[in-house]
Structures are given as structure tokens and as C-alpha cells.
Amino acid sequence: MQFRLKTSKETMDILKQLQSSTNLTPNVLARLAIALSLLSKEPIESFESDTNGLEFNRNTLTGEYDFVYKALIAQHLGRPVADDEYFPFLIKKHLDRGAKCLENEYKYAGNYEKFIKGLANFELEMIR
């Protein structure tokens, strides 16, 4: 079983940048990025990225909710996903794709407070 993954260089830069402006740790930011990526209907399997970035430990990245992330990713794909496909393969794709969304979200919000408020009401706004 794989327990580590490496993000793309771009993701690393985004996460570091966001860490300094929000004071949130990279793994928290990474979870948010994954969540944002899961909102996109575009097929994830075709997304490609490098592995020159930050290294994450599976425990710190997903922790006790690991199986929930896996379920969401599988649900998103609409098919069963094997464990080694989920980690690090699929989750890395989501992480790298979502990082850009997260960066956009932050830029749009402008500061930490608006950023968090926006994300907390995200689903609501989408529904509206």
C-alpha cells in the first residue's frame, strides 16, 4: 500500500503561497483543493501533472476520513476504485487539478475571511 504522494511543482507553489496568506497548513489546503476538484464534471483520468512538488503523507492528508475521500472519488467516477488506484494515483490528480481552483477562489475572495466564508457557503451558492 502506498502512503506517500508528490504533488506537482505548481501545486506546491500554490499551497505555499496560500499557506502564507491564510495561515492554514498545506494538508488542510490540499483537502480543500481535492474537494474543489471533485466539483468538476470533467473526466479526471485524463488530467496529467508532474511530481516535482510537495510530498504528502497519507495519514496527514486524509486522516480518519481517508475512506470518505476514496468513496467520493469513486462516486465521482461512478465505478469501484481499487486502493492503489485511489492513492496516490487519483487523489494526486484531484489535488493538482483542485489547487488551481483553490488559488482562483482565494484570488476572487481577496482575504482569508472572505475565502473561508465563500467556501463555507459554496454549495449553497452552487445550488442557488
| Interacting residues toward another protein by CB under 8 A | 24-25, 27-28, 31-32, 34-36, 38-39, 65, 67-68, 71-72, 74-76, 78-81, 113, 116-117, 119-124, 126
CB of 62 to another protein, least distance (A): 10
Peptide bond just before 88 cis, omega within 30 deg = yes
CB nearer another protein, residue 9 or residue 89:
89
Where are the strands (E) in the chain, listed by range?
Answer: 4-6, 55-57
Report the SS3 class of residue 1.
coil
Q: 10 Å Cβ neighbour count for 81?
A: 17
CB of 119 to another protein, least distance (A): 6
CB of 73 to another protein, least distance (A): 9
